[in-house]
Amino acid sequence: MKVRETAENTRRMEMCPSFETCDAPKCPLDELYDVRVFIAGDKRCIAERPTRLALGAGLPHKGLFPREYAAVVRFHGSWEAYLEHLAVKASEKGAIA
């Protein structure tokens, strides 16, 4: 299987506020995350979760690390149920304000 870097993929990672200072070889905003290599001692992504979720919405793991994504799906039952949970929380927060 041949994989190629795309301009869209590069743009998505460059939109991350941490991009200029990040040295992580495995970025959760990278569509090629699964083919990148991590070696013990490598830097890890420093982008905050809300940033990754916003920028990675179209990716398989939605900008989350695979373990984060799996935990969300396991806890909520599906990604869609998680999105409903977030919408309810947002509407409750708006009703309180």
DSSP structural state of residue 35: G
Q: Quick one: pLDDT at residue 1? A: 56
Contact assessment for residue 36 and residue 25, using Cβ atoms and an 8 Å cutoff = yes
- What are the tens digits of pLDDT across the range 32-71? 999 999 999 999 999 999 999 999 999 999 999 999 999 9
Write the single-letter amino acid at 89.
Answer: K
| Distance between CA atoms of residues 10 and 40, nearest Å | 25
Q: Quick one: pLDDT at residue 80? A: 96
Mean pLDDT across the chain: 92
Q: Quick one: pLDDT at residue 96? A: 59
52 contact partners, CB below 8 Å, separation of at least 6: 16, 28, 29, 45, 63, 64
- pTM metric for this prediction: 0.82
Gyration radius from the chain CA atoms: 15
